[in-house]
A and B are shown apart, each in its own frame.
Chain A
Amino acid sequence: EAGVTQFPSHSVIEKGQTVTLRCDPISGHDNLYWYRRVMGKEIKFLLHFVKESKQDESGMPNNRFLAERTGGTYSTLKVQPAELEDSGVYFCASSQDSVYEQYFGPGTRLTVT
């Protein structure tokens, strides 16, 4: 069974540009989560989808971040415009029946210069 996949694996953009990250959860997993780890800090929760609905978006840092999950399958996370402090690793995770057994993708390493 394929795991959680994320694209791209790396992205380098300039401040002010837009970047879109994609996550494909494990097939059949209704729950999808976004987290990020900035340099030297712990992994922090961004938001949680159940199917196509946002269950909890309390961790989204500001309105430059937009997450979508149209159709309840894959999800995108768009950062527009990107700022230097957005640099970090963005992880996606998914889970099936138990919202607590989360499987993580390999992450997208975002560098904003």
Chain B
Amino acid sequence: RKEVEQDPGPFNVPEGATVAFNCTYSNSASQSFFWYRQDCRKEPKLLMSVYSSGNEDGRFTAQLNRASQYISLLIRDSKLSDSATYLCVVNPPSNTGKLIFGQGTTLQVKP
């Protein structure tokens, strides 16, 4: 079983749609959680950290459910520029900054 699992998609949605991505992680002792965004043939960039209480940044909302070991990302009012691969990332219980990446979910927003 992979340490971080995501539905690879692709998710094809029209502009203005709301789309949600889910991710599960295997190590219940994991400490920190993130969503990164990666454009084609580019480096991953931090989109947002995910906190237990849930957090929102503009059109983006992230949720964490520790009991179910489940992380979600909701994008409202999708823009063409949101087209990218969204990576679910977990920091396992360790004293290093090691990050474990999911395979990514591809989003295509169509006009």
B34 contact set on A, CB distance < 8 A:
100
Residue of B nearest to A31 (CB): B97
Residues of A27-46 at the interface with B, using a CB-CB cut-off of 8 Å, are 31, 33, 35, 41-45
Q: Assuming A43-B101, A104-B44, is B87 touching A48 (CB within 8 A)?
A: no
Complex contact B44–A100 (CB within 8 A): no
B45 pairs with A104, CB closer than 8 A: yes
Q: Which chain A positions have C-beta within 8 A of B102?
A: 42
Establish whether residues A43 and B45, one from each chain, have CB atoms under 8 Å apart when the complex forms: no
Which residues of A have CB within 8 Å of B97?
A: 31, 33, 48, 55, 95, 99-100, 102
Interface residues on B, range: 20 to 34
A-B interface contact total, Cβ < 8 Å: 54
CA distance in complex: A52, B99 (Å) = 20
Contacts A41-B103, A42-B102, A100-B32; A107 near B43 (Cβ below 8 A): yes
- Residues on B with C-beta less than 8 A from A100 are 32, 34, 49, 91, 97, 99
Q: B87 — which chain A residues lie within 8 A by C-beta?
A: 43
Task: Return the chain B residue nearest A55 by Cβ.
Answer: B96
Digitize B95-107: 1 where CB-to-A-CB distance is under 8 Å, 0 elsewhere. 1111111111000
Task: Please tell me which one of the listed residues A41, A59, A101, A106 contacts residue B98 in the complex, with CB atoms under 8 A apart.
Answer: A59
Alpha-carbon gap, A55 to B97, bound state (A): 9
Q: Which of A86-106 contact B (CB under 8 A)?
A: 91, 95, 99-106
Q: Which residues of A contact B96 (CB under 8 A)?
A: 48, 55-56, 99
Contacts of A63 in B (CB 8 A): none
> A56 to nearest B CB, angstroms?
4
Is A62 interfacial (CB-CB < 8 Å)?
no
- How many residues from A make CB contacts under 8 Å with B? 24
B80 at the interface (CB under 8 A from A): no
CB distance from A51 to the nearest CB of B (A): 13
Shortest Cβ distance from residue B108 to the other chain A in the assembled complex, whole angstroms: 19
Taking CB as reference atom, which chain A residue is nearest B44?
A104
Residue-wise interface mask of B (37-53) relative to A, using a CB-CB cutoff of 8 A (1 in contact, 0 not): 00000111110010000
